[in-house]
């Protein structure tokens, strides 16, 4: 290593210039691959941000669409959400609660739902890894949140036994 590089590194350590720059460039963690155990538990839907929420409850994968409209608002205020779910194994059971399955075979679901102030929750069981993608509201991409703490997920999220 040259003397100039050593001097620059020492200057950075003394003044804190390098760590401050690195901290300014940090982005919030976006989960793209997560173990099933990290998403166990229901999020608090009354305070949940707008988007698609995914969690595991009693062996069921749950996918909830949240509009973040004020509670008690008129039913005319509705948003259309859409999401795609794919499993590496067969989806054994499914409960749609207002969701409409648009397509998908025995190992996938592409569904849409009209959501007002109250969230709509779709549930399904599978033993395989799950991939959640194409989350939209009114045709625009929305955030995918994971687990009871609402960790931010990427545009495509893989959930399995990692």
Q: Does residue 11 lie within any of the structural domains?
A: no
Report the Cα 16 to chain-centroid distance in Å.
Answer: 35
pLDDT band at 12 (very low <50, low <70, confident <90, very high): low
Instruction: Say if residue 4's pLDDT is above 60.
Output: no
Structure tokens at 15: 């003044």
- For residue 5, report the phi and psi dihedrals to the nearest 5 degrees: -65, -40
DSSP code, position 39: G
Q: Does residue 12 lie within any of the structural domains?
A: no
d(CA 130, CA 128): 6
Q: Does residue 70 lie within any of the structural domains?
A: yes
Q: What is the pLDDT of residue 26?
A: 54
Q: What is the pLDDT of residue 15?
A: 47
Give me the domain span that covers residue 115.
29-160
Number of domains composing the chain: 1
- For residue 103, report the phi and psi dihedrals to the nearest 5 degrees: -165, -175
pLDDT band at 160 (very low <50, low <70, confident <90, very high): very high
Q: Does residue 156 lie within any of the structural domains?
A: yes
Structure tokens at 47: 């305070």
pLDDT digits (tens, 9 = 90+) for 99-157: 999 998 999 999 999 998 889 999 999 999 999 999 999 999 999 999 999 999 999 99
Instruction: Say if residue 76's pLDDT is above 80.
Output: no
pLDDT digits (tens, 9 = 90+) for 13-50: 444 444 444 444 555 567 799 999 999 999 998 889 99
Instruction: Say if residue 96's pLDDT is above 70.
Output: yes
Tokens 């893989």 belong to: 158
Q: Does residue 34 lie within any of the structural domains?
A: yes
Q: Does residue 2 lie within any of the structural domains?
A: no
Q: Is 24 helix (H, G, I), strand (E, B) or coil?
A: helix
Q: Does residue 112 lie within any of the structural domains?
A: yes
Structure tokens at 41: 């538990």
Structure tokens at 103: 């397509």
Q: Does residue 81 lie within any of the structural domains?
A: yes
Q: Where are the alpha helices (DSSP H) in 33-145?
A: none
Q: What is the pLDDT of residue 7?
A: 45
Q: What is the pLDDT of residue 10?
A: 53
């Amino acid at each position: 290593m040259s003397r100039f590089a050593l001097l620059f590194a020492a200057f950075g350590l003394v003044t804190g210039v390098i760590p401050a720059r690195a901290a300014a460039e940090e982005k919030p963690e976006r989960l793209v691959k997560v173990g099933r155990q990290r998403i166990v538990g229901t999020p608090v839907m009354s305070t949940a941000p707008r988007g698609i929420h995914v969690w595991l409850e009693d062996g069921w994968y749950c996918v909830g669409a949240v509009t973040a409209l004020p509670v008690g608002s008129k039913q005319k205020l509705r948003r259309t959400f859409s999401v795609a779910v794919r499993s590496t194994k067969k989806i054994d059971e499914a409960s749609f609660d207002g969701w409409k399955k648009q397509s998908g075979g025995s190992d996938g679901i592409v569904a849409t739902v009209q959501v007002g102030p109250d969230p709509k929750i779709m549930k399904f069981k599978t033993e395989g890894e799950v991939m959640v993608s194409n989350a939209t509201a009114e045709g625009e991409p929305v955030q995918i949140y994971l687990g009871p703490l609402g960790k931010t997920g990427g545009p495509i999220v893989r959930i399995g036994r990692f």
